[in-house]
Amino acid sequence: MFKSSAPWTEPEVVNVRDYINNMSPKPVFYQNMHSDARMILYPLGYTCDTSANPDFDDQDALATKVRKSSNEAERQILNKCHNFARAMMPSQR
């Protein structure tokens, strides 16, 4: 993970922040699908001390719902790809 010199100094982070700040209504959750690690990262994730993040319980509950939903969506996409591949390659049936 790249650590910048200070918060809000990287252009891509500033762009996402400004985009979200200008949305109406304001989103309650933002998930970055950029990571290949298959992890949902929390604010203040640099520490295991959850008391450092007063919103941890709410974020954890929401992340659990998102993870379950994402897993189901991924399963559906993979099934569609598999079915398409089988239709395109009859010898693999």
Is 87 inside any structural domain? yes
Model confidence at 21: pLDDT above 80:
yes
Q: Is residue 5 part of a domain?
A: no
Which residues are CB-neighbours of 52 under 8 A, at least 6 positions away?
A: 44
Q: Where is mean pLDDT largest: 5-19, 34-48, 78-92?
A: 5-19
The domain tally of the chain equals 1
pLDDT of residue 2: 61
Residue 17 lies in a domain: yes
**Which residues lie closer than 8 Å to 37 by C-beta, 6 or more apart?**
none
Q: Which domain holds residue 18?
A: 11-92
Whole-number pLDDT of residue 26? 83
Q: Does residue 2 lie in a domain region? A: no
Residue 80 within a domain: yes
Give tens-digit pLDDT for 42-87.
666 666 777 777 888 888 888 888 778 777 777 787 777 777 777 7
